[in-house]
Each structure stands twice: as structure tokens, then as C-alpha cells.
């Protein structure tokens, strides 16, 4: 996955006073909230070829500390200058086994993002720009979840499809009142896009369970913000699914 720039990144590392141009490498995902943050300050967001940027967020290199260049996150023991192949980054120079619950959770998010992108392609093929754009917002939120988890940063509550958390919950629970249809029972006759949306809904639930397992593990700090956001995204995808069915 490419680089991610969120509003929190910009607030933590703001452009220098007087900056009028903020460069990011092509392929960087810039959250909509970060774009708005720049726009309000009349700073132009410019995409430039890889390796030519002067203003992107870059990955901090791991400094050479000899035997303690890399550390086992569970024991604090030094692992040498070379990262063991059977381990991966938790954050910074802290490494964990690839079976660690946090890494399993990241894998669920990665698979989920891939599924959303495929559904966007289907929506575009089927001339459903509203569905495609709503899924784009879901994708943005998933990337924010990943960024908040990797960086150990809080995840603020953001609107989803123009709705706050309470509104998302209300619409998803009162489909008849809000969208004019009964809660739909999935059927093959609904078509490929509808079934893909239903699958994504289940995958969001799986990611939520993986997050619960990761952050309930010994030594882990609870992340109710991430659990809450995934729960809301599951409802959001269900709303997208129901809107499609209501339009057929």
C-alpha cells in the first residue's frame, strides 16, 4: 500500500509558514479531510513524480543501533541490524511475528480494501457512479483506520456519506422508513454488484472481529475508536447495498 496523508499528519507536521504549494508523490492517498485542511489555508496540493517531492510525509528510516537496531516488541531483546524474515514491523524498529494479532488485523484491512476497489470497478462498469463514489468514501475511511492503527493515533469521528454515527445507525436499522424497502435477503438474482456489496459487509465484520482480538490481547491498549468505526462502516456498506436494491 502507498503512503497515506491524513489531517492528523498535517496538523502534527504542518507546512512552513507562507507555504502555498504542498507536493506529494504520485500514488499517495490524501484523505479528503487533509485536502480540506490545505484548501482552507489556500495551499495548493500538487502531485509530482516519485522521488521529486519536497513536501510529502516520508517513512522514518530505522537508525543503526548495532544489535539493538531492531527490537523484539514482546521481549525488548535486540535482534541485530538485519530484520529477521519471519518478523515484521509493529511500528518503528519494534518487530513482531507475522502471526501477531495486530498484523492479522492489518491483513484483514488490506484484503477489505482490495475488495472495495473491485466493487468500485463493478459499479463503474454498471454505470452506478453514486455507488462507486460511496465506496470511495468507505475506502478512505478504511485507510484512515489503518493509518491510525499503525501510527497509534486516535481516530476521530468523521461523517460517512453525509451522515454522523447516529444517522448511519438509524438508516441501517430503519430501511423501510428511510429507503422504502424491507430489509433485503441476499439472493443470486440481485446481480453481481449487489452480491459483492453484501460480501464486503461481511468482510467489514470480520475486520471488526480481528480488531477486537488484536486490541484485547495482553499488553495491548484498547482501541474503541477503531472498533466503533468498523462497526459504522459495516452499517454504511449495508446502506449502500440497500440503496442499490431500492433502485432496481
Q: What is the pLDDT of residue 39?
A: 87
Q: What is the pLDDT of residue 237?
A: 97
- Model confidence at 59, pLDDT cuts 50, 70, 90, reads very low
Of 93-97, 126-130, 141-145, 149-153, give the lowest mean pLDDT range: 93-97
Looking only at the bridges linking them, the beta strands covering 4-5 and 29-30 are parallel
Of 8-17, 47-56, 141-150, 175-184, give the lowest mean pLDDT range: 47-56
- Give the rounded percent of residues in the chain with a pLDDT score beyond 90: 45
Q: What is the arithmetic mean of pLDDT over 115-144? A: 93
More confident residue, 129 or 5: 129
The predicted-structure confidence for 161-211, as pLDDT tens digits, reads as follows: 999 989 999 999 999 999 999 999 999 999 999 999 999 999 999 999 999
Determine contact, residues 243/131, Cβ cutoff 8 Å. yes
Give the contacts of 188 (CB within 8 A, at least 6 positions apart). Answer: 195
Q: What is the pLDDT of residue 55?
A: 45
Determine contact, residues 5/57, Cβ cutoff 8 Å. yes
Q: What is the arithmetic mean of pLDDT over 115-137? A: 94
Give the alpha-carbon dihedral of 78, 79, 83, 88, to 10 degrees.
Answer: -70
pTM of the model: 0.72
Q: What is the pLDDT of residue 1?
A: 40
- Does position 60 have pLDDT exceeding 60, yes or no? no
Q: What is the pLDDT of residue 62?
A: 67
Q: What is the arithmetic mean of pLDDT over 120-132? A: 94
Q: What is the arithmetic mean of pLDDT over 23-31? A: 78
CA 185 to chain centre: 28
Q: What is the pLDDT of residue 97?
A: 82
Q: Which residues pair with 45 in a beta bridge?
A: 22
Q: What is the pLDDT of residue 91?
A: 72
Rounded Cα–Cα distance for residues 171 and 222 (Å): 28
- Model confidence at 74, pLDDT cuts 50, 70, 90, reads confident
More confident residue, 169 or 74: 169
Q: b/e per residue, 168-178, with b = 16+ CB within 10 A?
A: beebbeebeeb
- Model confidence at 58, pLDDT cuts 50, 70, 90, reads very low
Q: What is the pLDDT of residue 12?
A: 63
- Does position 15 have pLDDT exceeding 80, yes or no? no
Amino acid at each position: 500500500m502507498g503512503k497515506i496523508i491524513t489531517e492528523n499528519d498535517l496538523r502534527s507536521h504542518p507546512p512552513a509558514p507562507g507555504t502555498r504549494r504542498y507536493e506529494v508523490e504520485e500514488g499517495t492517498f490524501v484523505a479528503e479531510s487533509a485536502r480540506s485542511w490545505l484548501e482552507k489555508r489556500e495551499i495548493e496540493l500538487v502531485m509530482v513524480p516519485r522521488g521529486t517531492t519536497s513536501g510529502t510525509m516520508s517513512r522514518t528510516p530505522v537508525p543503526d543501533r548495532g544489535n539493538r537496531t531492531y527490537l523484539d516488541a514482546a521481549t525488548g531483546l535486540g535482534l541485530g541490524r538485519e530484520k529477521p524474515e519471519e518478523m515484521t514491523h509493529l511500528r518503528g524498529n519494534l518487530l513482531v511475528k507475522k502471526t501477531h494479532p495486530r498484523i492479522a488485523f492489518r491483513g484483514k484491512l488490506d484484503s477489505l480494501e482490495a475488495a472495495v476497489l473491485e466493487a468500485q470497478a463493478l459499479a463503474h462498469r454498471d454505470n452506478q457512479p453514486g455507488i462507486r463514489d460511496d465506496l470511495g468514501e468507505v475506502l478512505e475511511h478504511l485507510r484512515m483506520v489503518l493509518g491510525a492503527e499503525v501510527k497509534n493515533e486516535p481516530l476521530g469521528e468523521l461523517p460517512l456519506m453525509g451522515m454522523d454515527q447516529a444517522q448511519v445507525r438509524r438508516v441501517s436499522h430503519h430501511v423501510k422508513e428511510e429507503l422504502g424497502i424491507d430489509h433485503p435477503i441476499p439472493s443470486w438474482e440481485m446481480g453481481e454488484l449487489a452480491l459483492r456489496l453484501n460480501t464486503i459487509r461481511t468482510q467489514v465484520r470480520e475486520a471488526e472481529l480481528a480488531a477486537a482480538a488484536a486490541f484485547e490481547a495482553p499488553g495491548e491498549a484498547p482501541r474503541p475508536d477503531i472498533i466503533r468505526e468498523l462497526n459504522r462502516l459495516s452499517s454504511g456498506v449495508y446502506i449502500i447495498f440497500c440503496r442499490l436494491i431500492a433502485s432496481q
